[in-house]
Amino acid sequence: MKNTRLTLISTAAVLLTAALLAGCGDSSSGGPDAISIGEYASLSGKEAAFGQSSHRGTLIAMEELNAAGGLLGKKINFIFEDNRSTPGESATIAKKLITRDHVVAVLGEVASGRSLEAGPICQANKIPMISPSSTNPKVTETGDYIFRVCFTDPFQGKLLAEFAKRSLKAKNVAVFSDVSAPYSMGLAQFFKEPFAANGGTIVSEQKYTGGDKDFKAQLTAIKAANPDAIFVPGYYTEAGLIVSQARQLGITVPLFGGDGWEAPELLQIAGPALEGTYYSTHFSAENQDPNIQKFVQSYKAKNNGETPDAMAALGYDSAMVLADAIKRAGTTESAKLREAIAATKDYAGLTGKTTLDAQRNATKSAVIITVKDGKFKYLETIAP
Ligand code: PHE
């Protein structure tokens, strides 16, 4: 008897934990007088560091908005779901958010590949979607209901090509990209074109698949091509392993990447091997702007002293750009809300002034970060 009860209790506990881990949530009580806003995010799985950062930034925005009375006299009912960083989940979640939860807009995703999955659902249902940080151009090309608050990869690729030439003094570069990520394949292309146009040479092109753990064969081929630097447009999980294994193979040239490198986990994965590596991203918490420092303080207070990264700032900005548009529209009716988001001009966010162009993209400065003495260090800002 006792045993059965214990089993029942522990089964209930397991189910409860599973529900919590599934990450589905609802940050306020909602009700008919609330405005429902949805988010789909990589809260667990391979890119959880991105998803969690972005989500925490978004949560701070929602809390600030609700503390200030909500929107249009109603509280915000923020509903979020975890896609576990896996393909095939984001479209289902977007459908559920729209048809079951009746959200007025959808926030997400960090990774371009998953924004490309949910975008068509939002577009077909005419529900505005704002991606905080998907940089692949195709994301907003999905249709007129799809927006982003970050710069795009044609800009990021070009600035990295210039950085490689000017700061790394690299003439010969090897490119090592992830065939499974549209972000990685796109950024590789957007780097190669301007780099070659500026007189640079791509001496080796190697590929891996997200989830791979051993990169030694491709790195050996890269080493043989004797590049001045290695470009790794990919996500931190693999980028970290690639940097470590490159150093183990005696490759001493700089490695560099794009915003996919941005995660504290990168330091845990690659440690001292990261000295002398570089990446571009959207934001630096070292910026002394008072609004940024206010955000840094509230993020730290809520997240065990952790410093916010670019995804956190972009998550916050995506929610605030939406809130600003809802206020200007004076309604959450979808066509009017879409118009108001499209009209976003000079919105002063944490990642710079956001103006959305006719292609629903933002044009913003990037920052270059390096790793020094085991810490991320701001190096320079590059304007568009
Ligand atoms: N820009 C990457 C993508 O589009 C994701 C990313 C966002 C990485 C922000 C780091 C910071 O897939």
CA distance 148 to 317: 10
State residue 30's pLDDT score: 55
35, 70 contact by CB (below 8 A): yes
CA of 350 to the centre of ligand 1 (A): 16
CA of 331 to the centre of ligand 1 (A): 31
State residue 27's pLDDT score: 45
Q: Which residues contact 76 (CB under 8 A, 6 or more apart)?
A: 28, 34, 35, 36, 37, 62, 65, 66, 70
pLDDT in tens, 204-259: 999 999 999 999 999 999 999 999 999 999 999 999 999 999 999 999 999 999 99
Report which protein residue has its CA nearest ligand 1's atom 12. Answer: 111
State whether residue 50 is helix, strand or coil: helix
CA of 341 to the centre of ligand 1 (A): 21
pLDDT in tens, 118-173: 999 999 999 999 999 999 999 999 999 999 999 999 999 999 999 999 999 999 99
From residue 97, how far is each of 127, 231, 306, 322, 326 by CA, in Å? 10, 38, 30, 17, 18
Q: How far apart are the first and last CA of the chain?
A: 70
pTM over 0.85: yes
CA distance 274 to 267: 7
313, 282 contact by CB (below 8 A): yes
2-151+289-365 and 153-281: identical CATH topology:
yes
The class that CATH gives domain 2-151+289-365 is alpha beta
Q: Return the best residue to mutate from 42, 47, 50 for the ligand 1 pocket (most ligand atoms within 8 A of CB).
A: 50
Give me the residue spans of the domains in the chain. 2-151+289-365, 153-281
CA of 246 to the centre of ligand 1 (A): 23
CA distance 150 to 364: 7
CA distance 235 to 100: 33
187-356-50 Cα angle (round to 5): 45
Report which protein residue has its CA nearest ligand 1's atom 11. Answer: 259
CA of 135 to the centre of ligand 1 (A): 6
- H/E stretch holding 172 reads strand 172-178
State residue 25's pLDDT score: 53
Q: Return the best residue to mutate from 133, 159, 177, 236 for the ligand 1 pocket (most ligand atoms within 8 A of CB).
A: 133
Pick the CATH number of 153-281 from 3.20.20.70, 3.40.50.300, 2.60.40.1260, 3.40.50.2300: 3.40.50.2300
Q: Return the best residue to mutate from 131, 134, 148, 368 for the ligand 1 pocket (most ligand atoms within 8 A of CB).
A: 134
CA of 184 to the centre of ligand 1 (A): 10
Max CA distance (Å), the chain: 79
State residue 33's pLDDT score: 87
And the tokens for 191? 């780097």
| Spans of the chain below 70 pLDDT | 1-32
Q: Which residues line the pocket of ligand 1, CB cutoff 6 A? A: 50, 110-112, 133-136, 183, 259-260, 262, 310-311
